[in-house]
Chain A
């Protein structure tokens, strides 16, 4: 194990001549191995990820050069990086590398990931059996870049995490800890994939997942997990399919500039604490199943107050009073929905917390 500094002249990661054992020193060593901690510091020049690269950690504290290239970078070995840093981008550097970055440590020591506002521009994967990583600040990928949690623990530490789409499906032991953080998904297809939850620990009941991408139908594969808030508020998308039987603290779904479709997998039961789903006098929310059979929506108590829905094959149950609203349409196959406005004139549409649809739109418009 050694610390390797990129020399002042910089160079290709894969060249031995790029590396030094001292900051600002001569090229007196070999390219980094998986056991080496790489430092790009104030004495380092531009470095190009030109071939498959490995290191135990990448620490760019004080670096003002450019990290570029597109070759895969795998970070980690059986021990934690120097100062328990796994990855640290400096605020003064230019991060233009489009490399796939994989965190593959097998050390149980919690290691830090700090991006200092720099975008991760290549697919990002956490795949270290028994590993533990914690964000030190917000984590944001460039457009179209996926975040995959395959093995190990990723702790958002209540910071924001933004990516095109997120995959947490799999069978290896892994944990996602959101805290009160927000995951913003900017993609346009399957944005959340929790298809297989074997050996997954998901701590997201206090977190928020927001979809901001355009495209056709967004797909949220819930995997039967318990979520905090899921918010769909996307002008350019046609709607959202929710698969699996999951639990949501709050579901926010409203149209803004067009009719939207919210569909659930037939035969599933999704449970809600708050069901903020409503259309407007201009745009309808079509609420149905993905296939021609019924789905079930459940809420234990209180009143659901919607309006301007077009409802098909929807069973509403659980103890709450489910008011579809006076302007909603019953297309058949519905059970438990009441197609009138709620009895109390003080109850506002679109929320069972007394929040109006208009206010909801203002609060969440992207």
Chain B
């Protein structure tokens, strides 16, 4: 039997921001929540979302990008050397 869900839509408009979300829960889980717990869940969603938009990770610098490429090159080189060091599989023609 299909799981039955409750979709509780909500919108929070605060601090110049508008956030539209929903709590989507199996009906038994939803019905077990008190009104204050539901409000807390909404607040938690908004707070987490606000954190994402107010504190996005900055773009990597040129130095960070080059370091990441160097690291990847180093790993690939080591992998290539390991493969080259393996004995050749299969027989001769």
Q: How far is the CB of B49 from chain A (nearest CB, A)?
A: 6
Q: How far is the CB of A176 from chain B (nearest CB, A)?
A: 16
Determine whether the beta carbon of B57 is less than 8 Å from that of A143. Answer: yes
Determine whether the beta carbon of A137 is less than 8 Å from that of B58. Answer: no
Give Cα A160 to B10, complex, Å.
Answer: 11
Give Cα A212 to B54, complex, Å.
Answer: 7
Indicate with 1 or 0, residue by residue over A185-218, a CB within 8 angstroms of chain B CB atoms: 0111100000000000000000010001111000
Give Cα A136 to B7, complex, Å.
Answer: 8
User: Does B90 interact with chain A (Cβ within 8 Å)?
Assistant: no
Give Cα A126 to B59, complex, Å.
Answer: 24
Count: A-B pairs, CB below 8 Å = 86
User: Does A159 interact with chain B (Cβ within 8 Å)?
Assistant: yes
Enumerate chain A residues within 8 angstroms of B24, measured Cβ to Cβ: 88, 114, 116, 136-137
Determine whether the beta carbon of B53 is less than 8 Å from that of A366. Answer: yes
**B 13-68 contacts with A by CB, 8 A:** 15-26, 41, 44-45, 48-49, 52-54, 56-59
Determine whether the beta carbon of A62 is less than 8 Å from that of B25. Answer: no
Enumerate chain B residues within 8 angstroms of A336, measured Cβ to Cβ: none
Taking a contact as CB atoms closer than 8 A, the residue among B16, B21, B41, B59 that contacts A366 in the complex is B16
User: Does A304 interact with chain B (Cβ within 8 Å)?
Assistant: no
Enumerate chain B residues within 8 angstroms of A159, measured Cβ to Cβ: 20-22
Supplied contacts A138-B45, A144-B59, A212-B53, 19 more A-B pairs, CB within 8 Å: A61-B3, A61-B26, A88-B24, A114-B24, A117-B45, A137-B21, A137-B23, A138-B21, A142-B57, A159-B21, A159-B22, A160-B19, A160-B20, A164-B56, A180-B20, A182-B19, A212-B54, A215-B59, A365-B15
- Give me the interface of B with A, judged by CB distance under 8 Å: 2-3, 7, 15-26, 41, 44-45, 48-49, 52-54, 56-59
30 contacts between A and B (CB under 8 A): A61-B26, A83-B2, A83-B3, A91-B25, A114-B24, A116-B23, A116-B24, A119-B52, A138-B49, A140-B49, A143-B52, A143-B56, A144-B56, A144-B57, A144-B59, A158-B20, A159-B20, A159-B22, A160-B18, A160-B21, A164-B56, A181-B20, A182-B18, A186-B53, A188-B59, A189-B59, A212-B54, A363-B16, A364-B16, A366-B16
